Amino acid sequence: MAAESDRIVFVSVIHTDVESVEEARRVVKEIRPDVVAVELDHDRYNQLMNPPDEGDIVQTGSGDMAQDLMQQLAILEKSLSEITGSDVGDEMIAAIEEGRAVGAKIALVDRPMMATVHAMMQVSVDEIYKLTEMLPDATKDIKGGGASDLLAMLKEDRAVNDLMEQFRSEFPGLANVLIEQRDQYVANALHFILNDVKGRIVAVLGAGHIQGVKAALKQLLQ
């Protein structure tokens, strides 16, 4: 079954990174796969195709802790994108555009965002509150000039894997929902695609998901 997984070319990307956009486009153009699978669900795809007006991402303090956490994450990513010049999802759009140019099918393989938010409601309130409280300070650091250092660090060998392990240690419930459950969802989707097409697949995924998706897919192919 190893030959089956060999048909998938994984592209590890860092969101809001210009080099990741170029790499996603380059790999799809070079491989010319039958399918381009991207880490998006339908709602997020539609948001990328029809972005909200500037200023729509605001801190409202909705009282829904899961929604507030997702909102703080969006604010953090927006701050990064303003500095790097690459919006969140640009690497996915690039892969989709290049995929269409080479005649590939496009697969949106991420778990629906609302399902993830719903699952977060089962996570300890203390975990959600702790991370939500940390994110504004992280956003300030990025705006204060920390974005370049952050991106450089993430590109170092094993940096992303080490960061994921630290996140799992400090936020096990959130790690399960935001990382592990989504890794399994993506692996299931890729497994379905492998059974549906005979050619090659390019899977464009955030760097923090590559290891988990590969491990989950290996289990499915046994």
The pLDDT tens digits for 93-145 are 999 999 999 999 999 999 999 899 899 989 999 999 999 888 888 777 766 66
Residue 36 pLDDT class (50, 70, 90 cuts): very high
Counted domains in the chain: 1
Residue 63 pLDDT class (50, 70, 90 cuts): very low
pLDDT at 151 over 70: no
Any bridge partners for residue 38, and if so which? 108, 204
pLDDT at 199 over 70: yes
pLDDT at 146 over 90: no
pLDDT at 3 over 70: no
> What is the DSSP-derived secondary structure letter of residue 112?
P
pLDDT at 57 over 60: no
Q: Which residues contact 136 (CB under 8 A, 6 or more apart)?
A: 72, 75
Any bridge partners for residue 148, and if so which? none
Mean pLDDT of all residues in 135-163: 72
Altogether, the residues listed in the chain come to a count of 222
Percent of the chain whose predicted confidence (pLDDT) is above 70: 85
Question: Using N-to-C axis directions, what is the helix angle for 42-49 and 113-120, rounded to 10°?
Answer: 120
Distance, in Å, from the CA atom of 78 to the CA atom of 145, rounded to the nearest integer, reads: 14
Q: Which residue has the higher pLDDT, 46 or 146?
A: 46
pLDDT at 204 over 90: yes
The dihedral region occupied by 145, where left means phi > 0, alpha psi between -120 and 50, and beta the remainder, is left
pLDDT, residue 135, reads 83
Is 157 within 8 Å of 165 (Cβ atoms)?
no
Mean pLDDT of all residues in 155-184: 90
Is 123 within 8 Å of 172 (Cβ atoms)?
no
pLDDT, residue 5, reads 82
Percent of the chain whose predicted confidence (pLDDT) is above 90: 56
Best CA proximity match to 152, nearest among 84, 63, 76, 62: 84
pLDDT tens digit sequence for 7-28: 999 999 988 788 999 999 999 9
Domain that holds residue 86: 2-221
pLDDT at 164 over 50: yes
pLDDT, residue 53, reads 63
pLDDT, residue 161, reads 85
Supply the pTM of this predicted model.
Answer: 0.86
Is 200 within 8 Å of 193 (Cβ atoms)?
no
